[in-house]
A = this chain, B = another copy of it.
Amino acid sequence: MSILIKNGHVIYGENLEIVRADVLIEGNRIVSVEKKINETADTVIDATGRVVSPGFINLHTHSPMGLLRGLADDLPLMDWLQNHIWPREAKLTREYTKVGAYLGALEMIKTGTTAFLDMYFFMDAVAEVVEESGLRGYLSYGMIDLGDPEKTEKELKEALRTMEFIEKLGSDRVHFVFGPHAPYTCSIALLKEVRRLASEHNKLITIHVSETMAEIGQITERYGKSPVVLLDDIGFLGNDVIIAHGVWLDSRDIQILARHGVTVAHNPGSNMKLASGVMPLEKLLNAGVNIGLGTDGSASNNNLDMLDEMKLAALLHKVHNLDPTVADARTVFRMATLNGAKALSLKAGVIKEGYLADIAIINFNRPHLRPINDVISHLVYSANGNDVETTIADGKILMLDREVLTLDEERILDEAEKTIGKLA
């Protein structure tokens, strides 16, 4: 299988150089980016007036939560979780979760996301959906033991069962990740065992850390230290760990994260909507911490649109610091693409020879994207997910001219609508 994308504005390489060029894909790799490629290809896409961008990498989400979109807004985090989200999640079955996973996968394909790091339940069902969708999924079962040793056993067992299920799928695109929910919901015993297992099986770990002030208070009261210091002290941290949020990090926490090569998945939309706070972006960047971008789940955002999320990231830090020069467009664009790839040890997030063919083609023939004064600025500040026209992952076309080829859009929308009635 080969694909030739012609005449686009290509965002080339790590420096995000904008070049008018053709892009040739063979198998699942980008093999050539040149002014004029005359080779034939199985599929030729005319990208005149379009931008050829790395596909977006959503580094923190709960993809099936689209089902709960808009069910409870404008509420404090714990009220939202305890009285609205958790009661509904308690009714979730494998079947319902799969409907949510389809909805999430569909939304990601339609908005140019090509890879995502997920945490939820029934992750075997999510794995099947990801495999079918053509996306790259890094999937973690969210473990919560609340200090109950029986629960610790049960949660680890479910995680390992999910790992086996995913390994049996044998997909290059679907990966298991360990996902202890957070230091305030997981025992030290669970966290230590996760660390051991992740190293043994060579898997990534993702975990919510320092999301709210309440969490900091709780952990400090319980352990006499911050969540990050706690994780450091038990030997949990490493460059295979991706922490979500990292809102309430102090200077010592940041130094620890930098020292271990931990990645932070930044979720500006969720942090704003739940009023969790503002991640110390500049301090993290100055310390050299790798920062990716995530949407969090659709119940706290309320979408999976990475283009929307880039704008939120760029704007939030400017106003918070009263400094318009922070979180510039290029820094934020890298968070949504190559920084995410780095965290996942994925040779993607960049349009360049030898890289995986994970690509979003964005239609700039639209009033809000003209004149084409600055491609990266337009993507960060003016575009949205609906501007994505074609999505390619692993060298396969998942959406062409807004038509999703791997999933049945109408059926998924119908089933999502029917399923939510059953969860009421």
Contacts and interface: CB of A to CB of B under 8 A. Distances in A.
**Chain A contact residues, majority secondary structure:** helix
Number of copies: 2
B111 A416 contact: no
Given A75-B325, A303-B381, A272 B370 contact: no
A269 interface: yes
Contacts of A103: 367, 370
Contact of A368 (B303, B365, B417): B303
A271 interface: yes
B67 A368 contact: no
A274 B371 contact: no
Contact of A316 (B319, B413, B419): B319
B106 A272 contact: no
A11 interface: no
B367 A71 contact: no
A320 to B, nearest CB: 8
Given A367-B106, A367-B412, A413-B365, A377 B73 contact: yes
Interface string A360-390: 0000011110111110011001101111000
Given A70-B374, A370-B66, A371-B67, A273 B381 contact: yes
Nearest to A319: B272
A304 B103 CA distance: 29
Interface residues of A, number: 74
A415 B367 CA distance: 11
Contacts of A409: 367
A377 B272 contact: no
A69 B373 contact: yes
A72 to B, nearest CB: 9
Interface string A104-119: 0011001100000000
Interface of A: 66-71, 73-77, 80, 103, 106-107, 110-111, 213, 269, 271-278, 298, 301-305, 308, 311-312, 314-316, 318-325, 327-329, 365-368, 370-374, 377-378, 381-382, 384-387, 409, 412-413, 416-417, 419-420
